[in-house]
Amino acid sequence: MQTTAEYSCAFCGESSTTFIDVSGGLSQRYIEDCQVCCRPNILYVLIDEDTLEVEIQTDYEE
Ligand SMILES: [Zn+2]
């Protein structure tokens, strides 16, 4: 099952939409390039088990 969520780029602050594979776990971490500035963000994804609400925190990829 897949869902989408928005995050703010750690570099430029613009919102991007990402696809999240819920079957990958309730806590995920992966790297995605910003759709605006193309720089790599580390996405820390937390999925609520009951509501499947998604929370994303971003960090700079070194
Ligand atoms: Zn960006």
- Domain range for 11 is 2-60
From ligand 1's centre to the CA of 50, what distance in Å? 31
The DSSP symbol for 58 reads E
The amino acid that residue 5 corresponds to is A
Distance 58 CA to ligand 1 centre (A): 11
Instruction: Provide the whole-model pTM.
Output: 0.89
- Local confidence pLDDT in tens for the 62 residues of the chain: 889 999 999 999 999 999 999 999 999 999 999 999 999 999 999 999 999 999 999 999 87
CA of 52 to the centre of ligand 1 (A): 26
Number of domains in the chain: 1
Ligand 1 centroid–CA 15 distance in Å is 8
- Report how far ligand 1's centroid is from the alpha carbon of 16 (Å): 8
